[in-house]
Amino acid sequence: MTCQICGAWLPVGAMFCGECGSSRTATVASRTRPDPRPNDTTIIARLPRQPVVISVPIPTPVPTPVHVPVPEPDAVSIAALPTQVTFVLNFSTGERVSVQGSGLIGRKPLPQPDEIFDHLIRVTDADRSVSKTHLEFGQHDGELWVSDRVSGNGTVIRRPGEAAEALEPGRRYVLPRGTRVEIADHSFSVV
C-alpha cells in the first residue's frame, strides 16, 4: 500500500506515513481545506506613540558635618570593657594553639553562613573519629566554654578533681584551666 498524499510505500498495519506524516486514510481532497476566514480583512490600527519621560536627577544639598566632641575614656569605663583572656589548647596530636575569643574545632571546621569565629582549628584525624565541625568554644567573663556541635562521637570533659561528663549538644560548659576535653579518639587540655 502507498501513501495517497506523497506516494511513499507504507508497511502493513501502518497508521501514518513515515515520509509526510499523513494518516493512512488521508486523501488529497481531504488535505485541501478551504480558508476559514475568506472575508477577513481586519486592519490593525497603530496606537499613537507615547511621550518619552526623561528623568533628570535634582541635586540635593549635602549636609555639612557637625563636630560632636567625644569625651575621653576614663579609667573606670576602660576597666568595664570585657577583656579577652588567652588560653592554650594542648592537643593529643602534639599541636599547641593559643586562642582568644571564639572558634570551631574539628577535622575540617566550617561555620554556618551567618557565623563569624576568631579561630578554625583543624585536628589531624586519619580515622575520621572527629567530626568535621566537632566543637565550638568561646569566652564569657574571662572563662573558656565549649559546646558540642552535634558531633558523631560526642565530647567528654574531665575537669580537675571531678568525674568525666559527657556534653549535651548545643549546651555550653565552662572549663577551668587543667580540664581535659576528649573529642572522639583525640583530646586536648586547657592551659
Strands 103-106 and 119-122: parallel
Does this model's pTM top 0.85? My answer is: no
What is the rounded CA–CA span in Å between residue 1 and residue 24?
A: 9
**Cell digits of residue 156:** 567528654
Q: Are residues 99 and 161 in the same domain?
A: yes
Q: Are residues 86 and 26 in the same domain?
A: no
Residue 133's CATH number: 2.60.200.20
Q: Are residues 2 and 96 in the same domain?
A: no
Q: Are residues 115 and 178 in the same domain?
A: yes
Domain annotation covers residue 14: yes
**Cell digits of residue 185:** 579518639
List, in order, residues 6 or more apart from 158 with CB less than 8 Å away.
Answer: 164, 165, 179, 180, 181, 182
Q: In the chain, what's the furthest Cα-to-Cα distance?
A: 108
pLDDT tens string, the chain, 191 residues long: the values are: 888 888 898 888 888 888 888 888 888 877 776 666 666 666 666 666 666 555 556 666 666 677 767 666 655 555 555 567 899 999 999 999 999 999 999 999 999 999 999 999 999 999 999 999 999 999 998 999 999 999 999 999 999 999 999 999 999 999 999 999 999 999 999 99
Domain annotation covers residue 105: yes
Q: Are residues 26 and 92 in the same domain?
A: no
Q: Give residue 170's domain range.
A: 82-190
